[in-house]
Amino acid sequence: MDSIKQIYSKNADGENEINPSAFSMALWKYKGEEGVLIPLLQAAQEQYSYIPESVIHRIAGITGIPASEIYGVVTFYKQFKLSPPGKHIIRVCDGTACHVNGSTTVLNVIKDVLGIENDETTKDRLFTLQTVACLGCCSLAPVMMIDDETYGRLSGSSIKNIIGTYGNQNEVTL
């Protein structure tokens, strides 16, 4: 596991962060240790924003772990993505307060506006839609986040207006 420890460093706030080219460095330093698959996948996803198929085969070739086993790990853990995310990530809260206050309607409006389902990305790669268990903004229910911005007390028209501010009118059909 010593080769994996090198992929993280402390930033100015004392938090761990992945070093540039951490994935490549981790692969380069791989010495046959057990338990390195998850850290390798995390480093790859940090570098590429998802796990490309070529990365699965690269990891398999270097570690000797069959690509099918790596694929099984990637699809088992929700943190790993097999397709590139959109420029903007929309997270819709489906916690109890949001659910009771209309998160299903919020999700359906977003699906209709963007023409995608949950955990999908628009064809222009502008948006990725996700539901989450809770965003911690229960007093604002129903709530969604786009990137790091939180929007609460949502209605159908407010959702359309908010999404419209993230893309030009040609990219988002209102």
Instruction: Tell me the pLDDT tens digit for each residue of 136-173.
Output: 999 999 999 999 999 999 998 999 999 999 975 344 44
Q: How far apart are the C-alpha atoms of 147 and 64, rounded to whole Å?
A: 37
41, 81 contact by CB (below 8 A): no
Split at pLDDT 50, 70, 90, the class of 17 is low
Residue-wise pLDDT tens digits, 60-92: 988 899 999 999 999 999 899 999 999 999 999
Burial label for 17, CB within 10 Å (0-12, 13-18, 19+), is middle
Q: pLDDT at position 169, please?
A: 39
Residue found by looking up tokens 């359309």 in the block? 160
d(CA 152, CA 145): 9
Residues of the chain with CATH 1.10.10: 2-76
Please give the model's pTM, rounded to 2 decimal places: 0.71
**Per the omega criterion (within 30 degrees of 0), is the bond before 52 cis?**
no
Q: Between 3.40.50.300, 3.40.50.850, 3.40.50.720, 3.40.30.10, what CATH number should domain 88-164 receive? A: 3.40.30.10
Predicted confidence band at 26 (pLDDT cuts at 50, 70, 90)?
low
**From residue 16, how far is each of 8, 48, 81 by CA, in Å?**
6, 18, 22
Please check the confidence at residue 6 and state whether its pLDDT lies above 60. no
DSSP bridge partners of 9:
17
Two structure tokens written together for 108: 């359906």
Q: How far is CA 117 from CA 52, 102, 111, 135, in A?
A: 21, 17, 6, 20
**Shortest CA distance to 51 belongs to which of 79, 17, 24?**
79
* Per CATH, domain 2-76 is 2.60.40: no
- What pLDDT, in 10s, does the model give residues 99-119? 999 999 999 999 999 999 999
